[in-house]
Amino acid sequence: MAEKTDYAQIIESRRYPGKELMSSARFLVILFAIFALFIFIFTNVLIGVQVNGSSMEPTLYGGKMTASGRYYGGDYLFVNALATPDYGDIIVFHATSEISDNSELIKRVIGLPGDTIYAENGVLYRKHAGEADYRKVEEPYLGEAWTQTLEEYTVPEGEVYVLGDHRSVSRDSREFGSIPLKSVVGVVT
């Protein structure tokens, strides 16, 4: 008859308490590193914002204004702080006190550095830097007719020209000019 093996004794003889402690410490270090990476990404790369105000409607819902004059219930978005703004992108940028009481504004990029912009009876035209002819800017995101005329404006180097989608109520580059690229928080993803 075969001898009975005591598995509990074999397992106990192969246990190394030091290895268990190192395994637990390694797990906690990895867990902390993942948590720190998550916090870094969502505070420096993908930044959460909420839309307040109607300047980007109908594309983005800006919430409702309360009796105290504050908005609530607007769309929540993520902004990619590493992306470079391009035509048609929606960006968030730091506003100076002369522009707005809000610390950040959200608008659509219409012109990049060197572009010349003008509008005639609500039709927007853009001439890229170095080109001779203007091209009509297709704007399917506008929710209402826009009839304004804008004088030619050339976007300076290091700046972008921005407009809100709800042109009748939006305060944008028509009022305060182009904005520096260094004030751009990021591009809405």
Which residues belong to the active site?
Answer: 55, 107
**What value, to the nearest 5°, has the Cα angle with vertex 159 and ends 144 and 147?**
20
The span from the CA of 162 to the CA of 154, in Å, is 13
The span from the CA of 117 to the CA of 87, in Å, is 12
Q: Are 89 and 108 in contact (CB under 8 A)?
A: yes
The span from the CA of 21 to the CA of 17, in Å, is 6
